[in-house]
Each structure stands twice: as structure tokens, then as C-alpha cells.
């Protein structure tokens, strides 16, 4: 908490400079005009925003940038905690008929639907108590994400006009994710379905609606029932690590390069033609997983590798399939934002483009790291470690 507080203080000068140029009333008037211009009823828009005031808590959450990102193994400890597994097994058993029916209709396994339910809302128990209209109006007025937040408010106007839910039930998380599925309003409009057949799509109060909506979302984003989300593998000692992350190959081609399923099983014939990437969530010293299209589908729910891995591993735990065999390098000290920023600057100085300097080790930074590691003869796993930062610092000093 203290560290977060200091980070906020440090950020304050830039926030003051970025202060919204509009008063809240001026924004409300301008937005009402924009909503009416795209066909919404003026009285409805005015009524929706009549008693709304900005909410400071929402802005604090939006501006919070922790100095340290939690290592993926710590995230997974929480995502696949014994409590979440236990509650998930109970939920899976309790709603077996419903979930089996959804799997037959959509091809999405019962345990994947359940795992997403567990991570999004603790199986419906934690949906968020923010008034979604107020939260989105706050973000729209603030301006940093105005277009996005206004688009979500327009979706809410449509949702209310459709009589899908009462205004007072529009509760969710601080950034507008709603109900047991944690759908944004625009996602709701596109993907929510009526699972229990009562004519309404109530992702807040109806488990049948919520689970059917999640299954529908995954199916519509291309879930392939013939493939697993990921297969843990071992790599040969001389493996070309620069193939990690970006390169898509058939599993047959990975096999030719010595990539082998864990525990010595052979590749199945039906796996050979599947397209897959190699995921190294903690670099060469952590578990290695071939991921296919379904991993990408899970990331459409929440664009985070840790989240998708959490869903996949929780799903396996729910049906007692066991976790990863590879161990996490838990003794590694994660890089701070400041260190990642310095690493990105040093990559630039070495002629490798990290795609901007933002203190976050994203895909472009990992790609630049792999190129740098390959050039100087390190294992090119693209993992942002203290060791590679040290190498970069030395490379500058010696030039
Ligand atoms: Ca319903």
C-alpha cells in the first residue's frame, strides 16, 4: 500500500497537467448531445446522468501503477488457490447439467466455463459494487479514456432501452465490468444470451444466463473443441529459444525441433497439424507450454497471459488433471518499473526497438530482448531478468 501511495504522489504533477478541461456539467451536456446525435432519446440520456457526480475512487484505481508487477507464479498461486479449486469443484458438481448442456451446444468444456466464472467473480460471489454508470461517466469526464468510456455509456443506454436490466441493478467493477461474467456493457450487447429462457439476459442474478453468456463469448471468438488450450513440453539442450513467443509452427514442426510433451508421452496423430506457439512465462528457467488458438480465445476475455494460464490451470485442477510439472524460478527478483524502463532505454541504445519506453515488458520488449540476447550469445528467451539488465548495463559501459 505504501509503495502504491508513493507511486501516486510521484505521478501527481503529470496528472495535474492532464486535468480535464471540462467541468462535469459541461461534459454531461456535450455527451448528451453526442448520444442524441447517434439516436438515443434525449430524456433517457438526461435521466441516466441526472444525479451522477464524478467518483474519486474510480480515478484512483485508473491511475494506480504499481512499482512492481506481481510475478506470474504469485498470480497463479492466487488464481488456482485451494479455496478457488474447492469452490469450483462444488460449482461444477452443482451445475453439472447446465454446464454439460452448454458444452454440447458450444464445444467449450464445462471446466473452462467454470474456471472463467471462478476468476471473474468467484463463481458469482464477487461482482463489484460500483455503480457502472457513475464509474463510466467519471472515466469519460476525466478524458484519458473518454472515447472508450462514452462508447460504453452508449451501450448502457441501448441495454436499458432493450429492458434487459433495471437501472439500479447496473453494478460492477470500477472500470465497468458487470455481473458474474464481468462483461463490459458493449460486450454484453454483443455476447450476452438468455440461458434460462425467461426472455431476459440477466448476467447478474441468473447463473444460467451468466454461464451461457461466457460459453457463447468463447464460442464466438473461435473456441476449437478439438484442441487443448496448451500442452506442457520439454525442450532439448540446444533449443533455439528465439523461436519462443512469436513463431507459429505446427506441432509436427515443433516435434522435429525436439519439443516433447512432458512425462515422455508421444505426440498424438491428431496433434501434429495443430498450429502452436511456444510460451515461456518465466523464460528458459520456468515451465514451457505450447499454446494453440484456444489460449488466444481465453485472452480475448482478458488480454493477459497470466490470466489465460490461470484459467487453463484452474480448469485442469477442477477435473483433477494436475498442474504444471516444470517449476517456477521463485527465487528470481522481479524487475521494477524503473528497471524495466532502464532496460528498454538500454535496448534502444543497443539498436533494438522495444516498442517504446513504458516500464512494461510487453511483446515488443521481449522481441527486442531476444534479439539482443541472441546477438551476444545468451539464451534468447526474451525474459526480463535482473541478469539481462546487468548485461545491458555492462554492454553500455564497455562501448
Ligand atoms: Ca434469462
Q: How confident is the model over 256-315, as pLDDT tens digits?
A: 999 999 987 899 999 999 999 999 999 999 999 999 999 999 999 999 999 999 999 999
Q: How crowded is residue 279: how many other Cβ atoms within 10 Å of its Cβ?
A: 20
* Residue 163 pLDDT exceeds 70: yes
Superfamily grouping for domain 2-65+128-220: Bacterial muramidase (1.10.8.350)
* Residue 242 appears among annotated catalytic residues: no
pLDDT of residue 19: 54
What does each C-alpha distance from 121 to 129, 177, 182, 377 come to in angstroms?
12, 10, 7, 45
Residue pair 232/295 in contact by the 8 Å Cβ criterion: no
* Mean predicted lDDT score pLDDT of the chain: 93
- pLDDT single digits (tens) 213-255: 999 999 999 999 999 999 999 999 999 999 999 999 999 999 9
Residue pair 225/107 in contact by the 8 Å Cβ criterion: yes
C-alpha of residue 382 to centroid of ligand 1, in Å: 46
C-alpha of residue 121 to centroid of ligand 1, in Å: 18
* Statement: the pTM of the whole predicted model exceeds 0.85: yes
C-alpha of residue 297 to centroid of ligand 1, in Å: 25
- C-alpha cell of 374? 541472441
C-alpha of residue 200 to centroid of ligand 1, in Å: 4
- pLDDT single digits (tens) 83-128: 999 999 999 999 999 999 999 999 999 999 999 999 999 999 999 9
- As a whole number of angstroms, the distance between CA 40 and CA 26 comes to 19
pLDDT of residue 3: 38
Among the options 60, 104, 120, 150, which is catalytic?
A: 120
pLDDT of residue 8: 38
C-alpha of residue 19 to centroid of ligand 1, in Å: 42
C-alpha of residue 203 to centroid of ligand 1, in Å: 8
Q: How confident is the model at residue 398 (pLDDT cuts 50, 70, 90)?
A: low
- pLDDT single digits (tens) 311-368: 999 999 999 998 999 999 999 998 999 999 999 999 999 999 999 999 999 999 999 9
Would you mind telling me the total number of residues written for the chain in this entry?
Answer: 399
For the chain, where do the domains classified as CATH 1.10.8.350 start and end?
2-65+128-220
Q: Which of 10-14, 79-83, 210-214 has the lowest mean pLDDT?
A: 10-14
pLDDT of residue 229: 97
- As a whole number of angstroms, the distance between CA 271 and CA 179 comes to 37
C-alpha of residue 178 to centroid of ligand 1, in Å: 16
Q: How confident is the model at residue 68 (pLDDT cuts 50, 70, 90)?
A: confident
Amino acid at each position: 500500500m505504501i509503495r502504491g501511495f508513493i507511486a501516486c504522489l510521484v505521478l501527481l504533477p503529470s496528472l495535474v497537467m492532464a486535468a480535464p478541461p471540462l467541468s462535469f456539467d459541461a461534459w454531461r451536456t456535450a455527451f448528451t448531445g453526442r448520444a442524441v446525435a447517434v439516436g438515443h432519446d434525449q430524456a433517457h440520456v438526461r435521466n441516466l446522468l441526472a444525479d451522477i457526480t464524478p467518483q474519486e475512487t474510480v480515478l484512483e484505481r485508473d491511475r494506480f501503477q504499481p512499482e512492481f508487477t506481481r510475478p506470474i507464479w504469485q498470480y497463479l498461486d492466487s488464481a488456482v488457490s485451494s479455496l478457488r479449486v474447492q469452490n469450483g469443484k462444488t460449482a461444477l458438481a452443482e451445475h453439472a447439467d447446465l454446464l454439460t448442456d452448454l458444452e454440447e451446444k458450444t464445444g467449450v468444456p464445462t471446466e473452462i466455463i467454470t474456471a472463467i466464472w471462478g476468476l471473474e467473480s468467484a463463481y458469482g460471489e464477487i461482482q463489484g459494487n460500483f455503480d457502472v454508470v457513475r464509474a463510466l461517466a467519471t472515466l469519460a469526464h476525466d478524458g484519458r479514456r473518454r472515447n472508450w468510456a462514452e462508447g460504453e455509456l452508449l451501450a448502457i443506454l441501448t441495454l436499458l432501452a432493450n429492458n434487459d436490466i433495471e437501472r439500479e441493478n447496473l453494478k460492477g467493477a470500477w472500470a465497468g465490468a458487470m455481473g458474474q461474467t464481468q462483461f463490459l456493457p458493449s460486450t454484453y450487447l454483443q455476447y450476452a444470451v438468455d440461458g434460462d429462457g425467461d426472455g431476459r439476459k440477466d448476467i447478474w442474478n441468473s447463473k444460467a444466463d451468466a454461464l451461457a453468456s461466457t460459453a457463447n463469448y468463447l464460442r464466438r471468438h473461435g473456441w476449437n473443441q478439438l484442441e487443448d488450450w496448451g500442452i506442457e513440453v520439454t525442450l532439448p539442450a540446444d533449443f533455439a529459444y528465439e523461436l519462443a513467443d512469436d513463431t507459429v509452427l505446427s506441432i509436427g514442426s515443433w516435434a522435429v525441433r525436439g519439443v516433447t510433451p512432458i512425462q515422455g508421452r508421444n505426440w498424438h496423430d491428431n496433434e501434429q497439424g495443430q498450429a502452436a506457439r511456444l510460451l515461456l512465462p518465466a523464460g528458459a528457467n520456468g515451465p514451457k507450454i505450447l499454446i494453440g488458438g484456444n489460449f488466444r480465445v481465453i485472452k480475448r476475455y482478458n488480454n493477459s497471459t497470466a490470466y489465460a494460464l490461470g484459467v487453463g490451470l484452474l480448469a485442469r485442477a477442477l477435473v483433477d488433471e494436475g498442474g504444471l510439472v516444470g517449476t517456477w524460478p521463485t527465487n528470481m527478483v522481479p524487475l521494477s518499473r524503473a528497471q524495466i524502463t532502464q532496460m528498454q532505454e538500454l535496448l534502444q541504445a543497443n539498436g533494438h526497438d522495444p516498442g517504446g519506453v513504458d516500464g512494461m515488458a510487453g511483446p515488443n520488449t521481449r522481441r527486442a530482448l531476444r534479439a539482443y540476447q541472441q546477438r551476444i550469445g545468451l539464451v534468447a528467451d526474451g525474459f526480463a531478468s535482473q541478469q539481462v539488465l546487468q548485461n545491458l548495463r555492462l554492454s553500455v559501459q564497455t562501448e
